[in-house]
């Protein structure tokens, strides 16, 4: 079975900066990914609570009042405003659970990415697990991915993302929001609010929130989006968690963002 994008889908992605495919994953696939997400959280917290060991270097730190911990080159972000070990993001999560390493090579993701990047052979840039627990999951401010990555590579235009929704996503549980078409303007100026990470958040004067689209979709759906598109999300005020995995690909031959090791991707022959 082929998962390559149609001409219409590819045109939509290029024009809007994102593309949704509903219910790409279901049944056993979703169960396996959800179980892996839960296990990755438990393993990450377990390593952090046990502290530095012979095999792992554990480094906790705070940025803009928010807690982070690095386990070697794996970064764990905790939920804002709490001292609890409630995980917000794990990156790269494939280093904690092999199920995500299998996902990286899944043709449902790789075939469209071959077309979007314009390359038959791919490598992994990064893969992260985003978690929004019910009632307490915090939002993500408006930002582009390119400012985060521009200092680590010179091919930031070729780092598209695909988000796999593990739960139904809607406005109530803090679904992804994008500023459609904003990718056409390239890398935009950062905020000047005085925070440590101000340069990574898009300056409000550079776009209009009137152009935002809520990416509401059922569990198992996938969302492809450009590294330059402005995106963010609201907090999760619902009784339902909202988990998602984001895989970022790149042309073959380049090292991954954090490990600096080349992780080749298994791909199909482009039509």
Residue-wise DSSP of 166-232? SS-B-GGGT-EEEETTGGGG-SPPBP-SS-TTGGGBB-GGG--GGGEEE--B-TT-EEEE-TTS-EE
Report the domain count for the chain: 1
Taking residues 186-191, report their average pLDDT: 95
In a domain, 112, yes or no: yes
Of 55-69, 113-127, 220-234, the poorest mean pLDDT is in 55-69
Tens digit of pLDDT for each residue in 131-188?
999 998 999 999 999 999 999 999 999 999 999 999 999 999 999 999 999 999 999 9
Q: Residue 82 falls within a domain, yes or no?
A: no
The reply to whether 53 falls in a domain is no
**What is the biggest distance separating any 2 CA atoms in the chain, rounded to whole angstroms?**
53
Whether 241 is covered by a domain: the verdict is yes
* Phi, psi values for residue 103, rounded to 5°: -60, -35
CATH of the domain at 224: 2.60.120.620
pLDDT (tens digit per residue) in 33-55 = 999 999 999 999 998 987 655 67
Report if residue 15 sits inside a domain.
yes
Q: Is 221 inside a domain boundary?
A: yes
| Pair 177, 212: CB distance under 8 Å | yes
> 107-117 vs 7-16: helix axis angle to the nearest 10?
70
Alpha helices per DSSP H over the chain:
7-16, 27-50, 98-104, 107-117, 146-149
From 189, 194, 193, select the one nearest 205 (Cα to Cα).
189
| Gyration radius from the chain CA atoms | 18
Query: Which structural domain range is residue 207 located in?
Result: 7-25+92-265
Percent of the chain with pLDDT over 90: 89
Residue whose C-alpha is closest to residue 145's, from 171, 107, 176, 166: 176
Residue 58 in domain: no
Report pLDDT digits (tens) over 194-204: 888 888 999 99
Q: Are 178 and 229 in contact (CB under 8 A)?
A: yes
111 domain residue, yes or no: yes
Residue 97 has pLDDT above 60, yes or no: yes
Question: Which positions ≥6 away from 108 have C-beta within 8 Å?
Answer: 3, 24, 25, 222
């Amino acid at each position: 079975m082929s998962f390559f994008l149609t001409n219409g889908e590819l045109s939509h992605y290029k024009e809007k900066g994102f593309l949704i495919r509903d219910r790409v994953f279901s049944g056993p696939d979703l169960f396996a990914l959800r179980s892996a997400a839960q296990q990755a959280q438990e393993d990450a917290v377990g390593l952090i609570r046990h502290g530095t060991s012979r095999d792992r270097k554990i480094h906790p730190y705070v940025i803009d009042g928010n807690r982070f911990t690095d386990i070697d080159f794996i970064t764990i972000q905790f939920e804002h405003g709490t001292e609890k070990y409630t995980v917000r993001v794990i990156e790269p999560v494939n280093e904690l659970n092999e199920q995500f390493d299998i996902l990286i090579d899944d043709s449902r993701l790789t075939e469209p990415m071959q077309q979007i990047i314009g390359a038959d052979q791919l490598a992994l840039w990064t893969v992260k697990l985003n978690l929004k627990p019910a009632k307490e999951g915090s939002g993500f401010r408006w930002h582009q991915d390119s400012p985060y990555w521009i200092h680590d590579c010179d091919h930031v235009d070729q780092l598209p993302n695909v988000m796999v929704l593990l739960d139904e996503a809607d406005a109530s549980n803090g679904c992804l929001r994008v500023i459609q078409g904003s990718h056409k303007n390239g890398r935009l100026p950062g905020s000047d609010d005085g925070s440590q990470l101000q340069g990574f958040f898009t300056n409000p004067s550079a776009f209009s929130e009137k152009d935002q689209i809520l990416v509401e979709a059922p569990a198992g759906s996938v969302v492809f989006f450009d590294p330059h598109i402005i995106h963010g999300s609201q907090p999760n005020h619902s009784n339902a968690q909202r988990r998602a995995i984001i895989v970022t690909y790149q042309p073959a031959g380049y090292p991954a963002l954090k490990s600096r090791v080349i992780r080749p991707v298994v791909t199909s022959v482009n039509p």
